[in-house]
A and B are shown apart, each in its own frame.
Chain A
Amino acid sequence: MAGHLRFRKMNLKVLSVVLGMMVLAVGAGESLGAPRKQSGPINVGMIALLASPQKYNQKVIQTVGFLNIGRGRESDNLWLHEEDGQLFLCKNSFALDLSDDQRKQFAYLNHTYVVVTGILHSDGPEGSAMNSGVIVNIEQIESWHPYVPTQPTVK
């Protein structure tokens, strides 16, 4: 009996290992082979976007950059870094197609780093436009919370 029980226990162990491997194999197949549908925006950094904007052309993207809402719509841009705008490095930016209401709505975020979600239109990094493209159909602009160190306690 004891030997038979041990055999059954061993069979259960083998079965569980085999089942586990099957589950892993199915999971791996899904992530490696089968194409997955992009449900939300593509979360991509500004450097990747600026390097190959044509890869993301006409796609809904979400990225982080320095927001400038200027006096007119033609000055609304998302910059890689704040310094890029200070140094006129315009290829390190995307124009933002904001409505009048959005310009007012997001004015409080001006000159801060923000998360922008919208559709990218670009002729590529070598396009004749001054910047690297334009983000249209902007769904959301949110604050990018920087780390704020705690103030030292005054003794």
Chain B
Amino acid sequence: MSAEKAALRLTRADLKKGIHREYGGWIIQNNENGSLSYTKPVKGQEALIDLSKIPVPDGFTIVGDYHTHPHTTSTEGLGADPGDVESLRGIARNQHLDIPGYVADTFSGSVYRYTQWGPPMPKTMYDTNPFGVKIGTIPPD
């Protein structure tokens, strides 16, 4: 939640300036003591964020990813979209990591956790259902 809070704050600040941009990063685990933390949120584009270039500190393992959706209306929806789920599949294929993802949208502040396994599973890239399970809400600052 703290990772999403940091990313959402930046996304909302950009939206106030009229900039639609995603932020995101990795959720990482300390290999020695098991404590969780996250990499600083990085800028993406309106509908895209490239996490592959974010370095993971030595002694840590990636256990999840997080990002935001710069939504301005309720019709843009909650939770993950098929592209987000497919992105996790890409990480599984390319990095051999089967990790959950977390997404929060600026309009509702709802935070969703999703995996490449569902539930529910997107049937196609045209599926408009929300994916994942709501785990909390981050109100505006």
- Chain A interface (Cβ within 8 Å of chain B)? 68, 70-77, 79, 85-88, 90, 93, 95, 97, 100, 111, 128-130, 134
C-beta contact mask, B45-59 vs A, less than 8 Å → 1, else 0? 111101011000000
Give chain B interface residues in 22-57, CB to chain A under 8 Å: 22, 45-48, 50, 52-53
Q: Quick one: which of B52, B86, B124, B125 has the most chain A CB within 10 A?
A: B125
Kindly state the separation between the CA atoms of A151 and B53 in the bound complex, as whole angstroms. Answer: 55
Kindly state the separation between the CA atoms of A128 and B51 in the bound complex, as whole angstroms. Answer: 9
Check if B83 sits within 8 Å of A90, measured CB to CB.
Answer: yes
Main secondary structure of the interface of B (DSSP, over half): loop
User: Which 4 residue pairs across A and B have the least CB separation, nearest first?
Assistant: A74-B47, A85-B125, A72-B76, A71-B77
Q: Any chain A CB within 8 A of the CB of B89?
A: yes
Check if A72 sits within 8 Å of B81, measured CB to CB.
Answer: yes
Give chain B interface residues in 50-84, CB to chain A under 8 Å: 50, 52-53, 69, 71-72, 75-77, 81-84
Closest to A73 in B: B47
Q: Which B residues are CB-close (under 8 A) to A74?
A: 22, 46-48, 69, 81, 83-84
Check if B46 sits within 8 Å of A86, measured CB to CB.
Answer: no
Closest to B125 in A: A85
Q: Which A residues are CB-close (under 8 A) to B82?
A: 70, 75, 88
Q: Which A residues are CB-close (under 8 A) to B45?
A: 134
Q: Which A residues are CB-close (under 8 A) to B124?
A: 85-88
